[in-house]
């Protein structure tokens, strides 16, 4: 029986921090994010350990956490709220010229064989940093879409967004993450 506890303890020690960072992106105050993580870890302890032998711990734990976060968000948001989080400057002005071409010096550098780099922990740490540097609403929308694998309708319902707000958030988030990755991971634009 101690082997079961030890293995689960390792999972908890290894993944609790990343799970909490992820939950904090979607839930505030921090205590609510901690509660969601705790609920996910309790669910882990309630599962027969023999069933866990063949699963990927990260995928399994984040899968549970996804459902705990989504349940909490559904309870929290119940009405249509328009996207009012204003950006101080329109990002497109800084990235594209009047003909919608990249402005020289800010275009993303070529991403040579990104499939090789995607497998590294360092890359995902930079992605995590880029997502956490987004404004709150685009970060939530992007994270729900890409990390929690929610569809657009579910995200709009959960966060009380219109489809237009959803697509605006996704567009801005993708542009900012691409720019961030170009600067912090792929070596920046041509210098």
pLDDT digits (tens, 9 = 90+) for 49-107: 777 777 777 788 888 888 888 888 777 765 444 444 444 345 666 667 777 777 776 66
Find, among 190, 57, 182, 48, the residue nearest to 127 by Cα: 182
**Helix, coil or strand: residue 160:** coil
Q: Is the predicted pLDDT of residue 37 greater than 70, yes or no?
A: yes
| Pair 159, 138: CB distance under 8 Å | no
Give the three-state DSSP class for 116. Answer: helix
Please, which pLDDT band fits residue 168 given cuts at 50, 70 and 90? very high
Retrieve residue 120's tokens.
């590294």
Query: For residue 189, what pLDDT band results from cuts at 50, 70 and 90?
Result: very low
Count of CB atoms within 10 A of residue 60's CB?
18
* DSSP H or E segment with residue 129: helix 121-132
The residues that bridge with 96 in the sheet, in sequence order, are 102
| Nearest-angstrom CA–CA distance, 46 and 25 | 26
User: What per-residue confidence (pLDDT) applies to 167?
Assistant: 93
- Which tokens is 144 given? 């729900």
- The span from the CA of 16 to the CA of 139, in Å, is 21
Please list the residues that pair with 102 across neighbouring strands: 96
Residue 113 pLDDT: 58
pTM of the model: 0.50
Domains defined along the chain, listed by start: 1-80 (no CATH), 88-186 (1.10.10.10)
Residue 110: the pLDDT is 59
């Amino acid at each position: 029986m101690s082997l079961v506890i030890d293995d689960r303890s390792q999972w908890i020690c290894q993944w609790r921090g990343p799970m909490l960072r992820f939950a904090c992106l979607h839930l505030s105050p921090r205590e609510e994010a901690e509660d969601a993580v705790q609920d996910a870890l309790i669910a882990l302890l309630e599962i027969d350990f023999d069933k866990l032998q063949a699963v990927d711990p990260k995928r399994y734990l984040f899968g549970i956490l996804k459902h705990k976060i989504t349940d909490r968000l559904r309870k929290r948001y119940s009405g249509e709220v328009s996207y009012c989080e204003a950006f101080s400057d329109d990002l497109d002005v800084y990235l594209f010229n009047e003909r919608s071409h990249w402005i020289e010096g800010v275009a993303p550098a070529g991403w040579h064989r990104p499939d090789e780099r995607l497998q590294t922990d360092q890359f995902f740490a930079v992605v995590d940093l880029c997502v956490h540097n987004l404004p709150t609403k685009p970060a939530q929308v992007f994270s729900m879409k890409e990390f929690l694998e929610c569809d657009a309708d579910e995200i709009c319902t959960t966060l009380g967004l219109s489809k237009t707000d959803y697509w605006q958030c996704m567009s801005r988030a993708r542009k900012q993450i691409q720019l961030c990755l170009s600067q912090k991971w792929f070596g920046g634009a041509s210098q």
